[in-house]
Amino acid sequence: MGAKLWFRKDGSPRSKIKGLFIAAFAGASIYTFYAMMLLVEEFDTANYLLNSLVHIQRADVDLASVDLTDSLSVTSYFRSLCSSFDDIPPRMIEDFFREVSHLTGGSAESAHRIMRDASEDIHKILMRSKGKDPWFTGSEVIQRLDDGIGELMKLVEETMGEGDETFVSRRRQIKDRVASGKDLGSKNGNGDYELVG
């Protein structure tokens, strides 16, 4: 194989300059392709984040009409916030909130507090974000919503246990979604936005 690289079929040596040019061109093409893939991934993340932010803002408009002392109203409102994620099937969200509705006593009060606090925090983030970069606003809002969902999942898990196979499967899928949302604010994982290119 090495002989074919250095010599032609007739046995004469190949041009080293031509080979260097071809290798440089191939290397530049591979690097450009890699950079483009990173850029496409970055645009895909930005599109997801901004799409979710628009849906969350639409749901947030209804907060003024929500009675935050009423558990059913807060649950319905929080469900509409959670429906902003396109990567979680609506049926899974409905099933999860059905499980939340089965909580009783102190667990139901804790669930109400978790959803109310997350809803109020998201509203505050959106109100103080006027004039700020939508990327950072979206990251902050989705992070807070993910935290609220995570707290609610933990509460449901502690209350209902891990015996139900469908519950375990749904919880795993939602946990994966929440975990993947942790890095929406940055590509390098430490809170700094990493520019590509």
Global pTM reads 0.67
Q: What's the whole-number average pLDDT of the chain? A: 80
Where do we find the tokens 């409102």?
77
Residue 197 lies in a domain: no
Number of domains making up the chain? 1
pLDDT-derived band of residue 175, with 50, 70 and 90 as boundaries? low
pLDDT-derived band of residue 120, with 50, 70 and 90 as boundaries? very high
Residue 77 lies in a domain: yes
Residue 63 lies in a domain: yes
Distances (CA, A) of 40 to 48, 86, 88: 12, 19, 22
Q: How far is 125 from 131, CA to CA, in rounded Å? A: 12
Among 110, 108, 123, 177, CA closest to 147:
177
Residue 145 lies in a domain: yes
Mean pLDDT, range 91-106, rounded to an integer: 84
| The one-letter amino acid at 58 | R
pLDDT-derived band of residue 170, with 50, 70 and 90 as boundaries? low
Residue 3 lies in a domain: no
Query: Containing domain of residue 80, as a range?
Result: 32-181
Residue 170 lies in a domain: yes
Residue 16 lies in a domain: no
- Longest CA–CA span in the chain (Å) reads 88
Among 77, 172, 171, CA closest to 117:
77
Q: pLDDT digits over 125-144, tens only?
A: 999 988 888 888 888 998 99
4: which 2 tokens? 């074919």
Residue 172 lies in a domain: yes
